[in-house]
Each structure stands twice: as structure tokens, then as C-alpha cells.
Structure 1
Amino acid sequence: MVPLTDRLRAIPLIGRPLALLAGMLASRRTQLRVVEAERQALEAQRQIELLRQPLADIWTVHRQLVADVQAFQISSHQALGDTEAGLKGNILVARDEAVALVQHATNAQLSSFNGKIQHDMALLRSEWRATLARDSRALERAADALARNISPPSLGTADLSAPSVYVAFENAFRGAWKVKERMQWYMPHIRALYHHKEPRPVLDLGCGRGEFLQELQRNNIPCVGIDLNPAMVDASRAQGLNVSLAEAVSHLRDREPGSLAAVSSFHMIEHIPFDQVLHLIEAAKRALMPGGLLILETPNPENLVVGGCTFWYDPTHIRPLPPAMMAFYVQQAGFDPVRTARFFLRTDEPDVATIDVPVWPSVDGPLDYSIMATKPLSMP
């Protein structure tokens, strides 16, 4: 673009004066701009001077704040360290107190348990001393008779050993209502066997007064019973029960293999020698169907009162049979699973039963127990 002064010079005659005039005017405007720029620069410098002191104050405050924050951080770390140390100390104290309380409670329980054991052992020692003294006197009398070569006279059979007397003994020492309640406890386990099309019967060994057979009949379960006591057989037959006079092991051996759904024995095995108990277990396994159930209920010698006293109320009892021992022999015969139910007697309430819950020998433990064993399905 051609400058203005050059264009003015191109005008004839007056071009040069006009160009000179235009140059002068442009120079004036430039001076005015310079003056204005200087004025604005002075104004800006004045504003900067006005802001300098507040900025210095702000910077001072900023440095103070930084110093305060750093001091706060240092004090906070120190406070946190003190608090952490205090908490650790409190936790250790609480732990020591808790350990002391647990140790105190444990010592108290151990002391109580030890006292109970000492009491039970004292009862056992007393029973053993009495039994030992009685047996010693009997041995002394026998030895004296042998020394004098005196044969005891044959006295025959006492009237008090008649079968009818034992029926009266059962009525006196085994409450019928409690026995009935116990029999009802077994019904769900028996009913669980009857899912096959051809139901097999339950055989009750030593059926006695027939309480279990009656309960089976009320549940529409086929059942038969046997007993060696003629008076018991007559009493059961009088109630319309299918009962025979027979010996347990021989009767089981005469049964067809796999012909029974269940074999039950309530307070019978303690009346026979232990080798016959083993034969009974083997014969029952043979007579049971695969999946069939063997029930052996007997007094529980884990209750020290039972083992040392009440078991011997019945003069026909031979020996107590501990649960662990019976479970072992039944397992050895091939039954699986083998479970142990223990019954805690309540005088005016239903008995409490536990299954596979071991107990310490004591004077207030379960009075009876039952071995409940299943013949495996794979066993013929």
C-alpha cells in the first residue's frame, strides 16, 4: 500500500506542501501516543506500588501459615504416636485382664470337675468295698465248706424264682408308662424301613410284656416277638400279640436270610453271657434284609449309679455292657453305620435322647443307651 505522503506529493503544485503538512500531523499524533503510553506506564507503576505492600503482607501471612501447618503436622504426629502407644498399652492391659479372667474361670471349673470326680470315685470305692467284702465272705464260706468236704444240700427251685415273680419284678422296677414313651421314640427309625413293596416283619427278642410290639401294631408295622419266660409269653398273647417261647440265637438262625426288616432287643443282652451276645449280633446280621436295623438297648454303666448299684437290682443281670465296647463289636460284625443313642431319664417329663454324643462317667448321666446299627445295602 502506497503511504499517504507519497500520494500527496504526486498532486501537482500543492503536493509537496500537503505532504509536508501531513508529515507534521503524523509526527504530532506519534508524540501524543508516546505521551499517552508514558502516562499509562506511570499509572501502572503507581498501581504496582499500591499493590506491593498488600502483596508483601500476603506473602508474610503465607509464610506464617506454612510454618503453622508444619508445626501442626509435627504436633499431630507426636500426638498420634502418644495415642497409639496409649492404645497399645490399654490393649495389652485388657488382654492380660481377659487372660486372667479365663484362667480363673477355667481353674474354677477344673476344681469343680475334680471335686465331682473325687465324689464319684468315693462312691465307687464304697460300692467296690461292699462288693469285695460280700464276695470275700462268700469265698470264705465256700473254702470252709470245701475244707470240711461238706457238700451243700440240694434245695431245689425256690418259689421266688418262678417266672410269674419276674413279671411282678418288671412291673415294680420298670414303669409301664416310661417304657411306652421310650418305644415311641424308635418309631420314626422303624417306619423309615418300610419303603419296599414286600414289607418284612420286625422281630423283638426278649419281648417281655410286649410294649414294643404294641407300639409297632399301633403304627401298622408287622411284628413278632419271642421270650424265654412262659409267664411273659402268656401275658403278651393275652393282649393279642404274636409271641413265641423261644431262645434268641437259635430262633434267629432258623430265620431265612434277609427275612427281617429289624431286630430289636430291649434290656435283654445284659441277661445272657457275652459270647451269646456276639452270636446274637452275627445271627441278626444274617436274618436282616440289606438296609435292615439292629436295635440293642441296655442299662448304661457310664452312669456310675447304674453301673455300681441299680444294674444289680435285677439278680438275673450278668454284667454291664459299656456303649463303646458294644459299638466296637457291632462294627466288627460289618454293620455300618453304627450309632449310639443315650437316654436321660426325666421323672415327670419326656426322656431326653442324644445320638453319638459321648459323655463322661458320672452319677447323673444317661441311664440307658441303645446301639442302632444298619446292615449295609451291599451286604447279602
Structure 2
Amino acid sequence: MQKPNNIEPYDCIIVGCGSSGLSLAWYLIQELGETYKILLIERSFENRKNKTWCFWDEDAKPDIISSRIFWNDLVFGNQKEKITGSLINYTYRMISSASYEEMMIKELCKYKNIFWAEDTVKSIQEDDSYTTVIAENGIYNTKKVFKSNIRQKDITNSVYLKQHFLGWKVKTDNAVFDHKKAVLMDFNVAQKNATAFMYLLPFSGSTALVEYTMFSKNVLEKDEYEYEINKYLYDNFGLTADDYKVTETEGGAIPMIMRGSKLNEGKNIFNIGVAAGSNKPTTGYAFNRIHRINMQIAKHISKGEEPQVLNLSPKRYRFYDILLLDILENQPDASVNIFSKLFKRNSMDSILKFMDEKAGFLENMRLLVTLPWGPFLKALWRNRKHILTGKF
């Protein structure tokens, strides 16, 4: 890794080097070559907390990234049944943040125009000449700053929930998991006056990620998540705490928000990643969307245009998201029935295509008519003034 060289200002500085920061650097290199000077700033490039990212569109990531863990069969469950569907046009893939970052950093270190600073940013200031990043160990000048840290004041939306979760990677004494099937949603868990489900990714017959996930405004205490995971493992696989070992944990709270289109903080300061609303508001999936947005940013800059960090979703999908977020917030009892109808009446491929906002208008209509309309009409009425403005 090349240390900062502050003799001349950088063409851009990227603050935060997860998937959004690293992929933006990679796309900028592809579009602008080795003359575009980039500084990457992160508190530490080693020993960062590992996270799980899932996606299903192979075109939405740098070609140097490989995901060796995937599933062709997905499972949906509720209190009455479990539905298994096979994927034909997609594979559901998982990559760990540690693997992703290792591959991307190794690739980016090949370029002499990439510089690396392990530092903590204190403030970012703009003047007529340059934008200045003031950190604990240095002061860096640049033309543009892209930052991926999210703050509460960045959140400007009409509907605000959190998708919060705790997951365990477990290793069992015996092979109990079907490693060919990923459980996308199993609602046969405690709902706690909200919308909750279990998410299970089996890596082998004896190893899996088991994650209790909830849509609500307030997060739970840690022991509440742990109780539900323990109970699920016992109810579904007959496992007691003595039958498995927790090898890794992950958790967090993803803002499920509808963002406006102006996401820059200044003339030359731009948000990226989740800070820019790259996660799908109603599902939390962000991996594909982050890469598509960053690809667009790099293309704009290569053409001498201002980067457009805009809401990626077509307007009709933003309309659907407003209604579903309202249902999750105000009609959680209806949510399980909506998801049950969705998975029972549609193929897994069509659901993933819809979730990834790749389906056309007619495909949307064929899927939406399979859902109960009552909750959506109530949500439409509650949001009528906001929707009629057309500003969403």
C-alpha cells in the first residue's frame, strides 16, 4: 500500500473503504486509468468486522470478485407451511466482506495512482479551490470527496424503519442442514408486534448462518435475538446449546428509508453506499445497487460531468416501497400474509427480479395482482398527500 503523497492534491478522496468505497475506486480506475489520483481513507485496513453480503446478479460486481458460495433453491416459511422454489435464471450468492475486501485491496494495490491512509476523519471543508479532509494524522486536499459513513442527520424521508438483526455462524456436531437450500424468510418465529423472520444460509450439513431479523423502529436487546435463534435451532433441527458452537456473530440495523434525490453534502462532497440510500428500502439488499451506482459515478466523471449520486430506483418501484414500508410500520399483522402470497403464487426468479427492480411494468402487474390489495389500499390512503406531490 502506498502511503499518502500530499505534494499535489488528489483527484478524489474516498472516505470509508467497505464495498462502496473500494468498488468506486475500482470503477474509477477502469474508466480513467492510472492518471487519476485517488486517496482511500479508512481507520484500519486490517482485522475489520466480517459481514455477510448476498446478491444474485452476476453483472453487478467487478469481474475480479468471485463468490464460491451459492444456492439454487430458496425456501420460504410461515406458521403453516414451507415453500421451496428453484432458481433458473439466477443463483443466490454470498460473499463475506473479509473476502471481498481482501480481493479488492489486492487488486487496487497494483496501481501507482492509488494511495492509502489509515486515519480517522474529523471534518471536511470546502473553499473555492479545493476540498480539504482534516483527519487526526494528516490534512489532505482534493477536488472531490466521496464518503460512505451514515449519520442520523443524513436521513431525510417520510417513512423510517430499521431492519435490525443478529446472526450466528454455527457449527454442529452432526450434519443437520440441507446445504442445497437457503432459507430466505421463515416467519415461523416470534413477531413481537412487528414483522420478524429467520434467515438461514447453510454452508454445509454442519455449518450455517442463522439470523433473526425484524422490521421495526426500535431494536431489541441482544438476549432477545439470541433466545429466538436458540429456539429456532431447537424447534427446526432438534439442537440444544450443547449441540453446536457459535463460531462468529454479526448484527446491525439497516435504515429502511425513502431518500430524496439530492444526496451531495456540498458542491464537491458526495455520499456513496448506504449513506446515499443505495440499499433497497424494503429489503436492505445493497450489494448490487452499490456497484451499479458507482459504475454510473465513474462514467460521469470520465466524461467530465458532475457525478450524479441519485436514487437508483425507478419511480414505480419507489411507489411500491412507500406502500410496503407503511404496511410494515402500521400493519405488521398483514405482512406475513403478503409475503406468503408473494412466495406461493410467484416463481423465485420473478421475485428476485422484482426485488432487484429489473422487472418491466407488465411483469410488475402480474406479480402485484397475486397479493392481497386491502393493506396496500390502506397504505395508499395514509400516504395520499405525499404521493400526490409526486416527490418521492
Is the helix fraction higher in 1 or 2?
1
The structure with the larger Rg is: 1
Q: Is TM > 0.5 for Structure 1 vs Structure 2? A: no
Q: TM-score, normalised by structure 2?
A: 0.21
Q: TM-score, normalised by structure 1?
A: 0.22
